[in-house]
């Protein structure tokens, strides 16, 4: 308790307002959005989605000025860091959020689903993700994780009177809360064995000892299990297909991209800063998770008949590819980090794009069954071409983005120059072939078969969906052609310590 | 310092909580089991904080309590919603989607 008494002569730590500007901008707009509903009631509803997209575009401004400035900034004794890596991830979260707002605009308005609250919660979830990119401290990571998860539980349950949506939210909530409780228990053990919540200090304390104590091993396992739920890695993926199917489709897109990426960002912060010296414990854990996720995810995806469930299982497999570089991070930290970041950004673009097309097609067919995609080319050639790009990119066919992402992963695995890396690389290669089968099956149905009942009426695609498909398709192709590589090859994490 | 006793208590609570989450089918009881795990975490954090005389542990515990309260609020709302729509909070009946 003496420490608490000593803390009474408290002095506010210096605050770098520029570094915190992205979070503060998002917070201010989120508050404005909520107050608009209080002040204007029904009249403000229509403007909600416009204000939400403005908020996200405005948040990009400080991110760009921070990137132009180029200095690494640290605050609060190293608990909050702005560096190259965190800016890339922040920009990705904000842009992914922008695409999700584009996807939501018509869906939420036409379904008459509490528009204002929807966008308010979406913005707070994105705020948690943006904060997560800068978090270098166990408490900050925990608060950011809950800030992004709690609104997401509500969004998954958004269609209140729909039993499937209830069930989706219930499963997501219980799994999420259980995972964060287990993760917290792991964090308490890590805190106990290092005496600090700062990741940089934890690294120093844990690396100093020779063999890891059982408390440290247990702590690392629990923390990893907690995040494995978040990124839906096998065997902690069971919530994902049900939640994806039952939740409103824009929310599914948001969960499968932004929420998964946030889990990865948290995992990378902890692994690359806090556990850099304990690769002897973390690497085997990641190896097993990665190999199991990609194999099981792909095998179950093969026999899905609903395209959303198929994408959920393909998401499990993709999480496996993204975990793979973490299995060799001790040997090649820079390459491994670059590979995961590249994969996350490209995955966000191609998966959001696939969901945008699913939503557009569902406007006509009112279903997400793969059999309803037969003959799509005959009445919606534009959507067919876009869907083919996204699916083949997910499968990893050159010259699309997904190919480049897989290339970076395998490159990191081979660079590690040891047997476990090479074996995992073979796993990635074999799984890519399996995955091609179920992605190509949809392609074949769209291009080669006849439309059911010969119904060739056009699909009415609103402007916002066209914009979403356009943005994601351009990003997917640009990465594949190597037009945007630059910073992604030399990201590094600043391990700031307050001393 | 009686650190071991605190850690053993926390470990016991953690195990009871995990057992409850995995075995119980009643939505409310699962929520209460999660709370047990969170309280195990708090005991751990405060015990470690007192041992090292570091204020971080207590602060972490306060954050955990506050966030857990928010989380349970959402959980109760979802359980209530489920009760309204199907007059039951038995989780094994929530099986519209499978596979």
pTM (2 d.p.): 0.91
Answer whether A140 touches B (CB < 8 Å): no
State residue A49's pLDDT score.
Answer: 86
Judged by CB atoms closer than 8 Å, whether chains meet at B45 and A182 is answered as: no
H helices within A195-213, ranges in order? 199-208
Whether the per-residue pLDDT at B1 is higher than 70: the answer is no
Judged by CB atoms closer than 8 Å, whether chains meet at A160 and B41 is answered as: no
Contact A120, A30 (CB under 8 A): yes
State residue A494's pLDDT score.
Answer: 57
Number of domain units in chain B: 1
State residue A370's pLDDT score.
Answer: 83
Rg of chain A (C-alpha set) = 22
- CA of residue A361 relative to chain centroid, distance: 24
Cis peptide leading into A258, omega within 30 of 0? no
- Domain span at residue B31 reads 8-87
Contact A127, A27 (CB under 8 A): yes
Question: Partners of A82 in the beta sheet?
Answer: A73
Which H or E element spans position A403?
helix A401-415
Does B98 map to a domain? Answer: no
Does B38 map to a domain? Answer: yes
Does B93 map to a domain? Answer: no
State residue A489's pLDDT score.
Answer: 53
Rg of chain B (C-alpha set) = 17
**Closest Cα in chain A, distance from residue B86 (Å):** 8
Judged by CB atoms closer than 8 Å, whether chains meet at B63 and A153 is answered as: no
**Closest Cα in chain A, distance from residue B29 (Å):** 11
Tens place of pLDDT per residue across chain A (499 aa): 556 666 667 778 888 888 899 999 999 999 998 888 888 777 777 788 889 999 999 999 999 998 888 788 888 888 888 888 888 899 999 999 999 999 988 887 777 678 888 899 999 999 999 999 999 999 999 999 999 999 999 999 988 888 888 888 998 999 999 999 999 999 999 999 888 888 888 888 888 767 778 888 999 999 999 999 989 998 888 889 999 988 899 999 999 998 899 999 999 999 988 888 888 888 999 999 999 999 999 999 998 888 999 999 999 999 999 999 999 888 888 888 888 988 999 999 999 999 999 998 888 888 888 888 888 888 888 889 999 999 999 998 888 888 888 888 898 899 888 888 899 999 999 999 999 998 988 888 888 888 777 777 788 888 888 999 999 998 888 887 766 655 455 566 655 443 3
Answer whether A221 touches B (CB < 8 Å): no
Note the pLDDT tens digit of each residue in B29-58. 999 999 999 999 999 999 999 888 888 899
Which residue is closest to B72 within chain A, CA to CA?
A177
State residue B97's pLDDT score.
Answer: 73
Question: Partners of A80 in the beta sheet?
Answer: A75, A135
Whether the per-residue pLDDT at B13 is higher than 50: the answer is yes
State residue A73's pLDDT score.
Answer: 86
Judged by CB atoms closer than 8 Å, whether chains meet at B53 and A3 is answered as: yes
> Residue B37: which of A7, A164, A182 has the nearest Cβ?
A182
C-alpha distances out from residue A193 to A47, A217, A402, B2, B9, Å? 51, 10, 40, 16, 18
Judged by CB atoms closer than 8 Å, whether chains meet at A173 and B74 is answered as: yes
User: What was the ipTM of the complex prediction?
Assistant: 0.94
State residue A498's pLDDT score.
Answer: 38
Q: d(Cα A303, Cα A37) in Å, to the nearest integer?
A: 45
- When scoring B78, B86, B88 by the number of chain A Cβ atoms within 10 A, the one with the most, hence best to mutate, is B78
Per-window interface: A 282-301 vs B, CB < 8 A: 300
More confident residue, A494 or B92: B92
Handedness of CA A165, A121, B36, A263 (dihedral sign): positive
Does B19 map to a domain? Answer: yes
Does B96 map to a domain? Answer: no
> Residue B34: which of A170, A181, A309 has the nearest Cβ?
A181
CATH number, domain with residue B43: 1.10.287.3510
Does B32 map to a domain? Answer: yes
Judged by CB atoms closer than 8 Å, whether chains meet at B94 and A166 is answered as: yes
């Amino acid at each position: 308790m003496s420490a608490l008494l000593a803390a009474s002569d408290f002095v506010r730590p210096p605050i770098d307002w520029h570094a915190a500007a992205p979070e503060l901008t998002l917070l201010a707009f989120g508050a404005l959005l909520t107050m608009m509903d209080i002040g204007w009631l029904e009249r403000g509803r229509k403007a909600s989605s416009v204000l939400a997209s403005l908020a996200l575009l405005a948040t990009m401004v400080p991110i760009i000025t921070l990137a132009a400035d180029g200095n690494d900034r640290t605050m609060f004794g190293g608990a909050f860091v702005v560096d190259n890596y965190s800016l890339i991830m922040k920009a990705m979260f904000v842009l992914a959020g922008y695409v999700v707002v584009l996807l939501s605009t018509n869906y939420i308005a036409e379904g008459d689903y509490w528009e204002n609250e929807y966008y308010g919660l979406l913005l707070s979830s994105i705020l948690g993700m943006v904060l997560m990119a800068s978090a270098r401290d166990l408490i900050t990571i925990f608060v950011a994780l809950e800030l992004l998860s709690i609104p997401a539980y509500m969004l998954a349950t958004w269609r209140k009177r729909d039993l499937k949506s209830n069930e989706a939210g219930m499963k997501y909530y219980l799994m999420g809360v259980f995972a964060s409780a287990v993760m917290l228990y792991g964090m308490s053990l890590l805190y106990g064995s290092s005496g600090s919540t700062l990741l940089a200090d934890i690294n120093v304390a844990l690396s100093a000892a020779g063999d890891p104590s059982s408390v440290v091993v247990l702590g690392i396992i629990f923390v990893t299990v907690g995040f494995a739920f978040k990124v839906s890695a096998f065997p902690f993926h069971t919530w994902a297909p049900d939640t994806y199917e039952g939740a409103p489709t824009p929310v599914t897109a948001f969960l499968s991209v932004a929420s998964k990426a946030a889990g990865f960002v948290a995992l990378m912060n902890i692994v690359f800063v806090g556990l850099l010296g304990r690769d002897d414990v973390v690497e085997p854990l990641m190896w097993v998770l990665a190999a199991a996720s990609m194999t099981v995810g792909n095998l179950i995806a093969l026999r899905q008949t609903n395209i959303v469930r198929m994408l959920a299982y393909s998401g499990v497999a993709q999480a496996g590819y993204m975990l793979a570089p973490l299995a060799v991070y001790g040997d090649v930290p820079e390459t491994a980090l670059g590979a995961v970041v590249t994969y996350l950004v490209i995955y966000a673009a191609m998966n959001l794009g696939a969901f945008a097309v699913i939503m557009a097609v569902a406007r006509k067919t009112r279903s997400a069954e793969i059999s309803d995609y037969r003959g799509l080319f005959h009445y919606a050639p534009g959507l067919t071409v876009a869907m083919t790009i996204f699916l083949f990119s997910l499968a990893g066919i050159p010259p699309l983005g997904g190919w480049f992402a897989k290339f970076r992963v395998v490159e990191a695995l081979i660079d590690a120059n040891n047997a476990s890396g090479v074996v995992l690389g073979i796993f990635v290669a074999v799984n890519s072939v399996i995955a091609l089968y179920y992605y190509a099956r949809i392609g074949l149905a769209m291009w080669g078969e006849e439309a059911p009942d010969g119904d060739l009426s056009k699909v009415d695609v609103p402007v916002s969906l066209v914009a979403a498909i356009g943005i994601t398709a351009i990003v997917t192709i640009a990465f594949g052609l190597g037009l945007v590589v630059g910073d992604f090859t030399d990201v590094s994490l600043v391990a700031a310590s307050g001393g | 310092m009686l650190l071991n006793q605190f850690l053993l208590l926390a470990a016991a609570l953690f195990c009871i909580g995990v057992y409850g989450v995995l075995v119980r089918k009643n939505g409310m009881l699962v929520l209460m089991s999660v709370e047990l795990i969170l309280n195990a975490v708090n005991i751990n954090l405060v015990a470690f904080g007192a041992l090292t005389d570091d204020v971080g542990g207590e602060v972490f515990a306060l954050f955990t309590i506050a966030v857990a309260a928010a989380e349970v609020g959402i959980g109760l709302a979802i359980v209530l919603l489920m009760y309204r729509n199907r007059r039951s909070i038995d989780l094994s009946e929530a099986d519209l989607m499978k596979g």
